[in-house]
Structure 1
Amino acid sequence: MGYKDEDFILRQAKQMGEALGNILGQEAADEIMMVEAEQGQKKSDEILFRKTVPTDVPAIMLLIQDATAYLKEQGSPQWQNNQAPTEETIQNDIKNDVSYVLSLNHEAVGLCALIAEKDSAYEAIDGAWKDLGTDTYIAIHRVAVSSNYRGLGLGQKLLEEAIKKAQSLGYQDIRIDTYPTNGPMLHLIDKVGFTYQGMIEFDFINGERKAFQLI
């Protein structure tokens, strides 16, 4: 786009602002134009779902601390009493090539792990998994999103991208679990298309979880 085009756009914007000022008053017009500018900036935000790298670890630990505090506020025992993922866990996930982050303008704002190993808790489900004729599946674990960006749909974006990644890796059977009273997570799980299959229980206090599957 040449400078003449840019000048035309600037003139149009100025004329729009003046027209709004004549109709609504200049203060109201300025507020509207400011909101429009902010929305335009938001549209240019860069959101990426990518592999976690070692330099992400400090930001990830803050995400986990944030999520742990939020769960405590909700009265949930999930990730309490030293049950939250540790730095060693995250480092191992990175080493095993299973850790992913959602970044917003180069800032890590979401976390998850895609684990393809069989899980004894999943195998002992009180219910039934849908049978695809194979025992191969992948599970989404260690999900956390920054509270600083709550309300922007990043939790849904994180799960949608994790599902896409799992499918690109060749998995048709995708599983996830959460504590029975974790309302926000239950809402997200339902929203992205998982269906409830039964209860599982991990081998620690308050280890009961609702288990879900997406084919």
Structure 2
Amino acid sequence: MKFVQAKINQTEEVIQLYREVVKLMNRNNIYQWSEDYPRPEDLKKDIEKGDMYLLEDQGKIAAAVVLNEQYDAEYEDIPWEDRTGRFLVVHRLCVNPDFQGQGISKILMEKIEALAQELGYTSIRLDTLMANGKAMNLYESIGYEKRGQFYFPSHDQPFMAFEKKLVQI
């Protein structure tokens, strides 16, 4: 598996991947995303800025994620532990439905942590809809700590913020 930055010529493939993931999430009663989010124009910008990363397996996209230092205003009230270092924020993590159930999300998180350490980040922050049990279990199982519950204005269900401090190498 290769962990690479998405290329402009992969934009349509990435957009289609997110559409398929949203359909599957909705079928499983996980309404974290919708047909309005993530928007194709946002995914295109993520790729253009170099923030979109892909986990590829034999030329197929197994997973996608956006990594940067941007965060929503709701993060301001979270009691983060790492307040002095640089933190990387994980956005829009998704696993291709064809690859689900194979441990891909765990592999992707390992790649994200390795990249974050290489780039000098001291922690990683992310969030997920609390009703997304698989994501909640994943993050806790790989050492992410719950930092606080919050609501996005567009959702009536709560989200959980997670953080993992990184060991400096």
TM-score, structure 1 normalization: 0.71
Unaligned runs of 5+ in 2: none
* Correspondence for 1:55: 9
Counterparts of 1:157 and 1:131, CA distance in 2: 24
Counterparts of 2:45 and 2:153, CA distance in 1: 20
The root-mean-square deviation of aligned C-alpha atoms, in Å, is 1.6
Check if 1:115 corresponds to 2:65.
no
Per-residue CA distance 1:101-126 (angstroms, 9 max, x = gap): 1101011121001121243111122x
> In structure 1, the residue corresponding to 2:91 is in which secondary structure?
strand
| Within-5 A mapping of 1:149-160 | 149-160=99-110
| Within-5 A mapping of 1:1-215 | 47-80=1-34, 82=36, 84-125=37-78, 128-134=79-85, 136-206=86-156, 208-215=158-165
> In structure 1, the residue corresponding to 2:138 is in which secondary structure?
helix
> In structure 1, the residue corresponding to 2:154 is in which secondary structure?
coil
Count of paired positions: 165
Q: Structure 1 92/173 Cα, relative in aligned 2: closer, same or farther at 3 Å?
A: same
> In structure 2, the residue corresponding to 1:198 is in which secondary structure?
strand
Q: Structure 1 98/144 Cα, relative in aligned 2: closer, same or farther at 3 Å?
A: same
Counterparts of 2:45 and 2:11, CA distance in 1: 11
Relative contact order (alpha carbons < 8 A, sep ≥ 6): 1 or 2 greater? 2
Q: Structure 1 81/107 Cα, relative in aligned 2: closer, same or farther at 3 Å?
A: closer
**Contact between 1:160 and 1:192, CA under 8 Å: does it hold in 2?**
no
Counterparts of 1:122 and 1:98, CA distance in 2: 19
Unaligned runs of 5+ in 1: 1-46
Cα deviation, residue 207, structure 1: 6.2
Counterparts of 2:80 and 2:123, CA distance in 1: 10
**Contact between 2:62 and 2:96, CA under 8 Å: does it hold in 1?**
yes
Per-residue CA distance 1:89-111 (angstroms, 9 max, x = gap): 11111222211011010111210
> In structure 2, the residue corresponding to 1:175 is in which secondary structure?
strand
Counterparts of 1:118 and 1:143, CA distance in 2: 15
> In structure 2, the residue corresponding to 1:123 is in which secondary structure?
helix
| 1:61 aligned partner, one-letter code | I
| 1:182 aligned partner, one-letter code | N
Larger Rg: 1
**Contact between 1:56 and 1:108, CA under 8 Å: does it hold in 2?**
no
Give the structure with the higher percent helix.
1
**Contact between 2:8 and 2:48, CA under 8 Å: does it hold in 1?**
no
> In structure 2, the residue corresponding to 1:140 is in which secondary structure?
strand
Counterparts of 1:112 and 1:118, CA distance in 2: 15
Counterparts of 2:115 and 2:141, CA distance in 1: 18
Counterparts of 1:203 and 1:170, CA distance in 2: 32
> In structure 1, the residue corresponding to 2:127 is in which secondary structure?
strand
